[in-house]
C-alpha cells in the first residue's frame, strides 16, 4: 500500500508544481486538523504575491476532495482533515500489509560502524550506547530495504598489546584464557598495567613484544590472536545477552587495516597532502584550526614511525568505499570524537577516496550519567560492566513479575524477565535525543508506567490479551471503519502515522523519533480503551474495534522490533 502521507504529498506536490516547478510542500501532523501543509508562504514569497492569495491559487490546482477537506488557516497554512472514506480505505489496506504502510527504497549499501569495544577491556556504557543505537539503525535500514554491512571496529592493535601479551605469558596461557573467558577483562588489563608501571624488566619485555608483534613474529601473533579471540568471544556473549544482531563475522578490528596503511601514506604523499611535522607525517585539512587559529594536523604516521588511530580510519574509509561499495557510511561513536571524524572525512575527500556521492556521517551521542549527574561509574570510579547492568535489570523485572502473579511457567517467566530487562535498558537509551546526555536510572527505566520500554511491551501484551479472550481466532476478514467515536479516530490516525515516524527517524538518524511515536500511539490506545469497550460492543462496532486493536498490536510489535526490543504476547 502507499502510505497516507505519501498519497497526500503526491496530490499537494502536483498542485505546487503547477504553480512553481519543484516547489516542495511540507506536511506536518497537526493537533487542530489532521495535517497542516507548510510551504505556501515560501511559494508566495518566491512569486511576490500575498500568502493568502497564494493559498487560494494552490486550492485551485489541488485535487484532493476524495482524500481530505482543506481549509486555509492563519497567514497561509492549509489544514487537511481526512475524509471518512479515505481513512476507511487506508485502514483496510493497512490490515493487509505486513509492512504497515512502509515502502521499500531502492537498495543501497550502508556500512554502519558501531559497538567497537577494545580487546582485553570491559565494554563500558559508551559502548552500550554505540551498540544499542547502531543496532537500531541497522534494523531500520534493513527494514527499508537497504543492504547493511555492520563493521565492528574493535580496538585490537597498538602499544598496550606488548604488556598484555607479556602478562598472558606470565600467567600461563590456560590461566589467562580462563580469566578472560569469565569476562574479567578489566582485571586482566589492570594486572598487566600494574606490572608495567612497577617492574622495569616487564616494561622492557613489553616494549620488545610490541616490536615483535609489529614485525609479524609468529609466536607473538599467536598469543595476540588468543587475546583477540577470547575477547571477541566474550563480546559475542554480551551481544547475545542484549539481543544485538552483531556477529563475530562483523568484527573487522583495527588490525584488519594494517596492510593498507603503507598505501594510505604513499597515496597521500603522491596527492601532495602529506606534511612532515616534528618527525610525524600529517595532513592539514582545510578549515581545521586550534584555539590559537593554527592549522590542525591529522597525524597519519607518528614520529616513532607507528601508525595511529587516524591512519586506520583513513584506510577503513577507503576499504568501505572501494571494496564494500558503500553508498553511505555511518559511524556511531561518542560526541568527543567529532573532530576526529570530521578531519578523517575531509582528508578522505581531499584525497579523492570519498566521493561526494557517498554520504559519511558521524552519528554522535552524549554521555550516560549516574544519579549524581557525573559520568556513570561504580562507587570506586570503575567502569560498570554491561552484563552486570543487564543482570540487575533482570532481577528487578523478575520481582516485578512475581508481584503481578502472572500465570506462566517459571522458564517462561525467566525469559520474560530477560526481555523486559533488555527493553528497559535499550529503550531508555533510544528514547532520548542521542546527542544529549541521559541519567542511568534503573528504577525509572524498568517501570511499567511512563515513557519506558516495559510500558510499551505491556501495552502490546494488553492488546494481545484481548484476542486471547475470543472463543475463536480473529479473522477480521471484512472490516469497515466508520470511526464514530473520537478516540477511535485518534487511534486510527496514529496507526497511519507509522511510516512518517520511521522516515523521520531515518532522515535524522534519531531512533527517538520512532520511540516517541510508539509512546504516543500507546497513549492513544489507552485513551481509546478507556472510552471504547471492545469485546462487549455490539457488531459491527466490535469488529471495527478489534481491527484497531490488531493494527495497534502489530504496529507496536514492529516498531519495537526496529528498536531491537521484543514484544512478548503476555506479561
Is-contact 147 108, C-beta < 8 A?
Answer: yes
* Adjacent-strand bridge partners of 332: 363
Rounded to a whole number of angstroms, the minimum distance from the CB of residue 160 to ligand ARG is: 12
**78: phi then psi, degrees, rounded to nearest 5:** -110, 125
Rounded to a whole number of angstroms, the minimum distance from the CB of residue 211 to ligand ARG is: 23
**365: phi then psi, degrees, rounded to nearest 5:** -140, 160
User: In whole angstroms, what is the distance from residue 38 CA to residue 57 CA?
Assistant: 15
> Of the two residues 131 and 206, which places its CB atom closer to ligand ARG in the complex?
131
User: In whole angstroms, what is the distance from residue 301 CA to residue 384 CA?
Assistant: 34
Enumerate the H helices of 335-409 as residue ranges: 338-350, 386-403
> Of the two residues 116 and 506, which places its CB atom closer to ligand ARG in the complex?
116
Is-contact 370 377, C-beta < 8 A?
Answer: yes
Rounded to a whole number of angstroms, the minimum distance from the CB of residue 257 to ligand ARG is: 10
User: In whole angstroms, what is the distance from residue 146 CA to residue 104 CA?
Assistant: 8
> Of the two residues 312 and 515, which places its CB atom closer to ligand ARG in the complex?
312
Mode of pairing for the β-strands spanning 77-82 and 35-38: antiparallel
> Of the two residues 123 and 506, which places its CB atom closer to ligand ARG in the complex?
123
Position with the least CB separation from ligand ARG: 116
> Of the two residues 9 and 153, which places its CB atom closer to ligand ARG in the complex?
153
User: In whole angstroms, what is the distance from residue 311 CA to residue 269 CA?
Assistant: 13
Number of Cβ within a 10 Å radius of residue 212:
18
Is-contact 299 308, C-beta < 8 A?
Answer: yes
User: In whole angstroms, what is the distance from residue 81 CA to residue 79 CA?
Assistant: 7
> Of the two residues 30 and 245, which places its CB atom closer to ligand ARG in the complex?
245
> Of the two residues 151 and 464, which places its CB atom closer to ligand ARG in the complex?
151
User: In whole angstroms, what is the distance from residue 439 CA to residue 441 CA?
Assistant: 6
> Which of 200, 201, 217 is closest to 209 using CA atoms?
217
Binding residues (CB under 6 A) for ligand ARG: these are: 113, 116, 118, 153, 155, 313, 316, 331, 333
User: Residue 502: enclosing H or E segment and its boundaries?
Assistant: helix 498-508
User: In whole angstroms, what is the distance from residue 415 CA to residue 133 CA?
Assistant: 23
Rounded to a whole number of angstroms, the minimum distance from the CB of residue 345 to ligand ARG is: 12
DSSP letter for each residue of 78-108 = EEEEE-HHHHHHHHHHHHT-TTTTPPPPPP-
DSSP letter for each residue of 286-303 = TT-B-TTSPBPPEEEE-T
Rounded to a whole number of angstroms, the minimum distance from the CB of residue 344 to ligand ARG is: 8
> Of the two residues 116 and 311, which places its CB atom closer to ligand ARG in the complex?
116
Rounded to a whole number of angstroms, the minimum distance from the CB of residue 153 to ligand ARG is: 4
> Of the two residues 62 and 314, which places its CB atom closer to ligand ARG in the complex?
314
Rounded to a whole number of angstroms, the minimum distance from the CB of residue 122 to ligand ARG is: 11
> Of the two residues 116 and 446, which places its CB atom closer to ligand ARG in the complex?
116
CA 274 to chain centre: 36
> Of the two residues 33 and 115, which places its CB atom closer to ligand ARG in the complex?
115
Helices 173-181 + 185-198 axis angle, to 10: 130
Amino acid at each position: 500500500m502507499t502510505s497516507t502521507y505519501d498519497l497526500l504529498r503526491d496530490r499537494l506536490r502536483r498542485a505546487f508544481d503547477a504553480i512553481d516547478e519543484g516547489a516542495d510542500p511540507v506536511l506536518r501532523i497537526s493537533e487542530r486538523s489532521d495535517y497542516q501543509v507548510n510551504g505556501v508562504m515560501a511559494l508566495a514569497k518566491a512569486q511576490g504575491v500575498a500568502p493568502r492569495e497564494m493559498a487560494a491559487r494552490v486550492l485551485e490546482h489541488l485535487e484532493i476532495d476524495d482524500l481530505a477537506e482543506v481549509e486555509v488557516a492563519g497567514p497561509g497554512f492549509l489544514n487537511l482533515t481526512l475524509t471518512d472514506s479515505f481513512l476507511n480505505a487506508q485502514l483496510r489496506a493497512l490490515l493487509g500489509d505486513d509492512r504497515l504502510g512502509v515502502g521499500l527504497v531502492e537498495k543501497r549499501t550502508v556500512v554502519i560502524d558501531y559497538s567497537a569495544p577494545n580487546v582485553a577491556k570491559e565494554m563500558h556504557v559508551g559502548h552500550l550506547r554505540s551498540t544499542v543505537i547502531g543496532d537500531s539503525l541497522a534494523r531500520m535500514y534493513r527494514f527499508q530495504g537497504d543492504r547493511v554491512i555492520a563493521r565492528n571496529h574493535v580496538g585490537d592493535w597498538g602499544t598496550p598489546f606488548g604488556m598484555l601479551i607479556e602478562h598472558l605469558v606470565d600467567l600461563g596461557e590456560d590461566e589467562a584464557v580462563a580469566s578472560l573467558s569469565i569476562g574479567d577483562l578489566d582485571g586482566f588489563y589492570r594486572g598487566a598495567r600494574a606490572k608495567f608501571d612497577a617492574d622495569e624488566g616487564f616494561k622492557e619485555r613489553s616494549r620488545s613484544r610490541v616490536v615483535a608483534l609489529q614485525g609479524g613474529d609468529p609466536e607473538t601473533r599467536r598469543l595476540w590472536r588468543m587475546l583477540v579471540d577470547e575477547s571477541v568471544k566474550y563480546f559475542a556473549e554480551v551481544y547475545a545477552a542484549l539481543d544485538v544482531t552483531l556477529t563475530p563475522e562483523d568484527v573487522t578490528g583495527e588490525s584488519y587495516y594494517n596492510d593498507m596503511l603503507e598505501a594510505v601514506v604513499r597515496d597521500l604523499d603522491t596527492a601532495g597532502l602529506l606534511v612532515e611535522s616534528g618527525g610525524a607525517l600529517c595532513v592539514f585539512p582545510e578549515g581545521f584550526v586550534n584555539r590559537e587559529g593554527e592549522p590542525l594536523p591529522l597525524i597519519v604516521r607518528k614520529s616513532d614511525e607507528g601508525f595511529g588511530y587516524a591512519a586506520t580510519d583513513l584506510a577503513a574509509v577507503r576499504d568501505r568505499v572501494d571494496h564494500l561499495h558503500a553508498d553511505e557510511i555511518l559511524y556511531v561513536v561518542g560526541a568527543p570524537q567529532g573532530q576526529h571524524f570530521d578531519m578523517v572525512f575531509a582528508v578522505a575527500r581531499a584525497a579523492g577516496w570519498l566521493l561526494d556521492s557517498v554520504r559519511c556521517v558521524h552519528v554522535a551521542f552524549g554521555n550516560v550519567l549516574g544519579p549524581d549527574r557525573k559520568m556513570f561509574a561504580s562507587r570506586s570510579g570503575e567502569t560498570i560492566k554491561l552484563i552486570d547492568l543487564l543482570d540487575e535489570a533482570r532481577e528487578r523485572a523478575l520481582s516485578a513479575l512475581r508481584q503481578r502473579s502472572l500465570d506462566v511457567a517459571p522458564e517462561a517467566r525467566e525469559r520474560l524477565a530477560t526481555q523486559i530487562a533488555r527493553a528497559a535498558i535499550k529503550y531508555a537509551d533510544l528514547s532520548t535525543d542521542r546527542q544529549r546526555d541521559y541519567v542511568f536510572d534503573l528504577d525509572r527505566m524498568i517501570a511499567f508506567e511512563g515513557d519506558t520500554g516495559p510500558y510499551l511491551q505491556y501495552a502490546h501484551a494488553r492488546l494481545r490479551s484481548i484476542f486471547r479472550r475470543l472463543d475463536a481466532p480473529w479473522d477480521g476478514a471484512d472490516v469497515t471503519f466508520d470511526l464514530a467515536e473520537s478516540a477511535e479516530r485518534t487511534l486510527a490516525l496514529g496507526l497511519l502515522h507509522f511510516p512518517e515516524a520511521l522516515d523521520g527517524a531515518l532522515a535524522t538518524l534519531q531512533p527517538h523519533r520512532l520511540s516517541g511515536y510508539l509512546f504516543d500511539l500507546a497513549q492513544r490506545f489507552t485513551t481509546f480503551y478507556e472510552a471504547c469497550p471492545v469485546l462487549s460492543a455490539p457488531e459491527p462496532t466490535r469488529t471495527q474495534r478489534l481491527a484497531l486493536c490488531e493494527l495497534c498490536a502489530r504496529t507496536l510489535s514492529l516498531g519495537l522490533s526496529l528498536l531491537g526490543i521484543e514484544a512478548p504476547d503476555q506479561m
